[in-house]
Structure formats: structure tokens, C-alpha cells
A and B are shown apart, each in its own frame.
Chain A
Amino acid sequence: MTHAATTSVGPAGDGRADGLLHDCRKAFAQALHDLAAENDRIVVVCNDSVGSSNLVAFARDYPGRLFNVGIAEQDMVGVGAGLANGGYIPFVCAASPFLTGRALEQIKADVAYSGAAVKLCGMSPGLAYGALGPTHHSIEDLAWLRVLPGLPLVVPADPAETRAAVRWAAGASGPAFLRISRSPVPDLPVPVQDLEPGKATVLIDGGDITLIGNGTLASRCLDAAALLAAEGISARVLNTPWVRPLDEDAIIAAAVETGGIVTAEEHSVHGGLGSAIAELVVSRSPVRMRILGVPGQFAPTGSTQWLFEHFGLTGPGIARAALSLLGKTGD
């Protein structure tokens, strides 16, 4: 499966590996709409993002339960905290750069520190806005949020995992951050039904090296493993939707059993999944790592797909990093 050649985006995934690529926002919106039918405490707060958060159907069918506060992210997050205080389950939906960047202090004080059960939904994160540039890229969101205690961070990899994340968040008693990808992804081979906090899944078992990804990069780690297999290298692939809590056991087992880890994420190489894994591994079972993502720079102009290629966030790019770690190339 190669991403560069397949750009068509299919309908909201039904959980089958149909070979099409999906925009996870559709699965997100469908799951939220379904839950809203079952639970009238579910409400939405957004920032002039009804369309970009795929909330048109929610607005149509539950108009009294969607609060579009306009282009006012600080107010948006505070309003979410007030609704949670009043017994509701607010999903606060906005483009991730503006949700997390503009309203970071509200996320810290009103949500995480207050323990308010606000479900923060960072839409179109990472490089999803492509050529709109670094103002619209959200490659810092996990770094900013990972230092806030009490805020689980979930990065789903496909439509099924996105639906499971929404269901988990709606039922959780505390706050959460869901990072909902826009860049097209295929279904993972085995659709998840429910998310268990802090659990990674082994997509492929292997003993020579471990590739760890989440979100848009999980399936690309699978692509890399296929390329490595052709070179006679047995790569383990871990999908880690939980940046917090991390699946410490699965990661330490991978370190011990395979001796090297490559991480890949649609995020800065500083402060995200790779950093979280490095912090864990270095203190419990140090092994060599490669952390793939956007290096410490503002991205140049280019489409999302072009930027993925540019930064090596592709199956071949991940495979090259693995070969380098194994000393098999001069990369």
C-alpha cells in the first residue's frame, strides 16, 4: 500500500480494510452524532468551525446543543468548562493550532487543573493545512499539552479508532484531548471496537527493530515494515493512540526484545510521541532511537502530501531510518 499514489478519499470508514483512504473527521462526526442521539448531555462548542469540524449534521439535528461562539477560542474553552460544571459533556471542536495555541491557558487552568470533563477535539492537526503554512500547522499541540497533568492525549489512526476514541471520551469522567486527523488514512488491518486507556496494539510482531507510530503515521509504519521485510528485516509495529498514558509495558518490551526503536508522528520531533517514548526508554531500558517528525523548523511551503515526503514521513522514509539505526545504510 502506498500513499503517494492514492489520493482519493473514501466515505467514512465502516471498519473494513477497504483499501480506500479516509478523512477521520467524518468518522468523528458520525460517532458524535450517534452518541448525541443516545445521551442528551452531549453538547458541542466550536469556533466558527461547524463545517471544518464536520458538524453540519449535528447542528441540523441538535441545534440547541451546539454553541458556535465565533472566532473566540479562549471563550470557547471556558464555555466548555462551564458546561461541564453544569453537568454536560462538552466536545470542544476547533482546528488544533487555534484550540491548543490560542486557548492554552484556558486548557491548563479551566480544564486540566480544574479537572473539568471537557473533551477537547483538535481537528486537522499536524500538517493537514499544508501550503497554508506554519501558522496553520499544528505540530506543537502534543508538546504543549503533554506537560499538563491529568489530560489524556489520544491520537487515533483510522476511522474505527476515531469512533472508539469518541465513545471512550464521552464516557470518561475527566477531560481528554482527541487529535482528529484530516490527512487521509487507510483502515488499519484489524478495526478496534473499544479503546482501553494506555494500551498500544501490536500491528505486526517482529524481533529486529520496532516502529512506533500513531495517527496518520501508524499505517505508514506498516508500509515501512513491508519494505524492511523485503530486506530480510523483521520489524515490530506498535500503534500507540495514547500519547498519555503511554503503554509503558509494550514499549519497554519492544526496547528489550528488539533493541532499537523508530518513532514517527505528524508533529514536531520535540515534545511529542517520540519524546515521550525516549523519556520512558532512557530511564528504564535505554536503546538507540530515531525520532521522525517535523525537525526543529517551520515547514516550507508545500502541500500536505509534499511535506510528508519532504520530512520523510512515509513508508520508505521510515524504512530508511530503520536501516540507518541498524547500521545498514549511511543514512
Chain B
Amino acid sequence: MTKLRSRLGSAAELGDRRDWLEQAEPAERAAYLAAAATMLRRRDLEMITTAGMGHIGGDFSAADIVATLYLAVLRVNPEAPEWPDRDRYIQSKGHASAILYATLAMVGFFEDDALNSYMAPLSPLNGHPDRRHVPGVESNTGPLGHGLPVGVGAALAARLAGSSRRAFVLTGDGELQEGSNWEAAMAASHYALDNLVAIVDRNGLQQGARTEETNALEPLADKWIAFGWDVRDVDGHDHEQLYQVLRGAPFAAGKPTCVIARTRKGHGVSFMTDRVEWHHKIPDAQQVSEALEELSR
């Protein structure tokens, strides 16, 4: 945290950081977001090894997306988490809770120390996020396919309120097998919700196998297009691509935006990358050491 803020000089507010990143050169911005995402992965690794539980593969696959959103895109106020005009971020892949918590702490929703209690008895930081106990969490997720309908409602509310706020939903890719997503996808285009952005963490792996071997999603972009969405394909570990698409949406008036973020499960640690067993495996001491070594480069 100290290191990140020191790069901003005296600017401690998230809004200031967002403004600073907007004005920064692309390379500088990308380097900053990459450094932040690496810090988040290190903290995530600590949390999961301390808890002996968690979903590190999906956390690492989403880390660059979540970091880019919170540090550079979302209009939120950690000092007033219920600020009515905030952007809504709904993390439908609730099992990636550790990366969400680490990010919320990094941007100041609560103290970093709280992360040490991840999944411990009576901790507010459950294995899946609970908005009643964690400031910054918008809706309780965990069962899959819940986030997008809530995002549709949040986007409708923004329109009713005459607000320019946006709703962002991060889904896993395997969870798109849940039909509720497609109910919501239809509604979003029916209501022309161009203030809604769905981000698919397209790492290609679900809990037990590849998505394409389980219940194939491809051609995924065509599906969203057929449902009336404007689809953007990005490298989900390229911070500048993520920044441009998440900051710039919508790109088609009257259409919700689907960002298919091509990612790799376990990205950042070579022995975890694209390996299905790292969905929720816990690294041993040697593996932690190797992972930290890679995340220090």
C-alpha cells in the first residue's frame, strides 16, 4: 500500500489516482497497474496460504481486471461506500473473493490487516463476499449466474435515477453455462442498457475441466452478439487494453457491452498457469516460495 501511494506523492484519494492515471502516458499507466496487480497477487497468495482455503487460480486470472477497475475506472468512494451515485461492481464469480478483498483493502475500503482473517472463524471475510459485513460489496454472490441479473437491475436503477453511473459485472466463463445469465442478457439488450458492462473472465477452465470439454461456450462472442450486445475482445492481462475498453464503454449507443477478457487461470505463477488443479489447490511452503519469487520480478 505504501509503495503504491508513494508513487502518487500526496494524492491519497482514489479519484485523484484515477485522474492521475488518465493523464499518465500509456506505458506509465500500464506499469502502474501491473505493479498493483502483482501486489494484489502476492497479498492474495498470503491470504490463501494463511487460510488454507481459497480459489487462487480464478483470483489470479481476474487480478488484472479487478485491479484495473478499482484503481483506474470505477467511480467509488471508500469513505462513503453507499454513495448513491457510485458505479456498481458486481463480482458474479464470488469464489474469487480473496482478490476482491485484497483490492478493496488496497483502495481503502478497510484496513489491510483485516485480510489476515480471511475465512477464519467469525471473520467478515467469508469465502464468498457478504455485503452485510464488507464495505464495497454490492451483492452476495457464490452460487453462479447471479451477478448479471443484479447488474441489469442496477443499470435500470441508474437510468431511472438519471445518473451517468455504470454497472460492471465480472463473470467466470464456466458460469455462463447457467441459464440465468442468458435471461439477463436478453433483458439487458431489450432495455438497451448501454450503461452495463459484462466482463467475462475467459480463462477456459472451470472447476473440473476445460469449458470446451465440459459444455462448450464457443462461439462465445457470437452468442453475445446474437443476444444484442456489443462485444469487445481483449487480452485480460494487458492493462492498457483493459483500461481502454472498461473506461471507454459503451462503444455502441443503446447496446450493453460484453468484454471477453482472454485470461489464464493462475496467471502470474508459471506452475499454476492454465492448470485446472489450481482452481482451488493450496500451495505448500516450497510452492509459496517459488510463487513469491516469480511475483517479485
Residues of A whose CB lies within 8 Å of any CB of B are 43, 45, 64-65, 67, 69-70, 72, 74-88, 90, 105-106, 109-110, 113-116
Chain-A contact segment, one of B15-23, B179-187, B245-253:
B179-187
- Cβ proximity bits B138-154 to A, threshold 8 Å, 1 near / 0 not: 11111101101111111
- Cβ proximity bits B168-194 to A, threshold 8 Å, 1 near / 0 not: 000000000001100110110011000
In angstroms, how far is the closest chain B Cβ from the Cβ of A61? 16
What separation, in Å, do the CA atoms of A116 and B146 have in the docked complex? 14
- Shortest beta-carbon contacts, A-B, top 7: A82-B153, A86-B157, A78-B149, A75-B183, A72-B183, A79-B153, A82-B154
Interchain residue pairs with CB less than 8 A apart (19) = A67-B156, A74-B145, A74-B149, A74-B179, A75-B149, A79-B149, A82-B139, A82-B154, A82-B155, A82-B167, A83-B157, A84-B153, A85-B138, A85-B154, A87-B161, A88-B157, A110-B149, A114-B132, A114-B139
Known: A64-B160, A82-B151, A82-B157. A116 touches B139 (CB 8 A): yes
Question: Does B84 have its Cβ within 8 Å of any Cβ on chain A?
Answer: yes
- Set of chain B residues within 8 Å of A75, measured between Cβ atoms: 149, 152, 180, 183-184, 186-187
Residue of B nearest to A88 (CB): B157
What separation, in Å, do the CA atoms of A307 and B149 have in the docked complex? 37
Interface residues in B255-284 (C-beta closer than 8 Å to A):
none
What separation, in Å, do the CA atoms of A43 and B154 have in the docked complex? 13
What separation, in Å, do the CA atoms of A43 and B158 have in the docked complex? 13
- Set of chain A residues within 8 Å of B191, measured between Cβ atoms: 67
Partner of A83, one of B153, B179, B180, B190: B153
Partner of B140, one of A79, A86, A113: A113
What separation, in Å, do the CA atoms of A28 and B244 have in the docked complex? 48
Chain B interface size band reads: 35 or more
Extra contacts, 20 of them, besides A43-B160, A75-B180, A86-B160 (Cβ < 8 A), are: A65-B160, A74-B145, A75-B183, A78-B148, A78-B150, A78-B152, A79-B149, A82-B90, A82-B150, A83-B154, A83-B157, A85-B138, A85-B153, A105-B143, A106-B146, A110-B139, A113-B140, A114-B132, A115-B131, A116-B139
- Set of chain B residues within 8 Å of A65, measured between Cβ atoms: 160
- Set of chain A residues within 8 Å of B143, measured between Cβ atoms: 105, 109
| A-B interface pairs (CB < 8 A), number | 115
Contact A81 B183 (CB under 8 A): no
- Set of chain A residues within 8 Å of B149, measured between Cβ atoms: 74-79, 81-82, 106, 110
Partner of A110, one of B140, B157, B161: B140
What separation, in Å, do the CA atoms of A188 and B152 have in the docked complex? 41
What separation, in Å, do the CA atoms of A88 and B132 have in the docked complex? 18
In angstroms, how far is the closest chain B Cβ from the Cβ of A49? 15
What separation, in Å, do the CA atoms of A105 and B145 have in the docked complex? 10
Residue of A nearest to B132 (CB): A115
Question: Does B240 have its Cβ within 8 Å of any Cβ on chain A?
Answer: no
Question: Does B130 have its Cβ within 8 Å of any Cβ on chain A?
Answer: yes
Contact B158 A78 (CB under 8 A): no
- Set of chain A residues within 8 Å of B183, measured between Cβ atoms: 69-70, 72, 74-75
- Set of chain A residues within 8 Å of B139, measured between Cβ atoms: 81-82, 85, 110, 114, 116
Contact B150 A110 (CB under 8 A): yes
Question: Does B88 have its Cβ within 8 Å of any Cβ on chain A?
Answer: yes
- Set of chain B residues within 8 Å of A43, measured between Cβ atoms: 160
- Set of chain A residues within 8 Å of B151, measured between Cβ atoms: 82
Contact A82 B132 (CB under 8 A): no
What separation, in Å, do the CA atoms of A318 and B240 have in the docked complex? 71
What separation, in Å, do the CA atoms of A72 and B178 have in the docked complex? 13
What separation, in Å, do the CA atoms of A113 and B139 have in the docked complex? 9
Among B84, B142, B149, B154, chain A packs the most CB atoms within 10 A around the CB of B149
Residue of A nearest to B155 (CB): A82
In angstroms, how far is the closest chain A Cβ from the Cβ of B183? 4
Contact A79 B150 (CB under 8 A): yes
- Set of chain A residues within 8 Å of B84, measured between Cβ atoms: 86-87
Partner of B187, one of A72, A114, A116: A72
What separation, in Å, do the CA atoms of A78 and B131 have in the docked complex? 15
In angstroms, how far is the closest chain A Cβ from the Cβ of B91? 13
- Set of chain B residues within 8 Å of A76, measured between Cβ atoms: 149
- Set of chain B residues within 8 Å of A86, measured between Cβ atoms: 84, 88, 153-154, 156-158, 160-161
Among B140, B143, B152, B153, chain A packs the most CB atoms within 10 A around the CB of B153
Contact A78 B132 (CB under 8 A): no
Contact A113 B130 (CB under 8 A): yes
In angstroms, how far is the closest chain A Cβ from the Cβ of B36? 27
Partner of A114, one of B131, B148, B152, B156: B131
In angstroms, how far is the closest chain B Cβ from the Cβ of A150? 9
What separation, in Å, do the CA atoms of A78 and B151 have in the docked complex? 8
In angstroms, how far is the closest chain A Cβ from the Cβ of B189? 12
- Set of chain B residues within 8 Å of A45, measured between Cβ atoms: 153
Residue of B nearest to A113 (CB): B140
Contact B156 A82 (CB under 8 A): yes
- Set of chain A residues within 8 Å of B131, measured between Cβ atoms: 114-115
What separation, in Å, do the CA atoms of A81 and B84 have in the docked complex? 15
In angstroms, how far is the closest chain B Cβ from the Cβ of A68? 10
Residue of B nearest to A64 (CB): B160
In angstroms, how far is the closest chain B Cβ from the Cβ of A128? 25
What separation, in Å, do the CA atoms of A78 and B140 have in the docked complex? 11
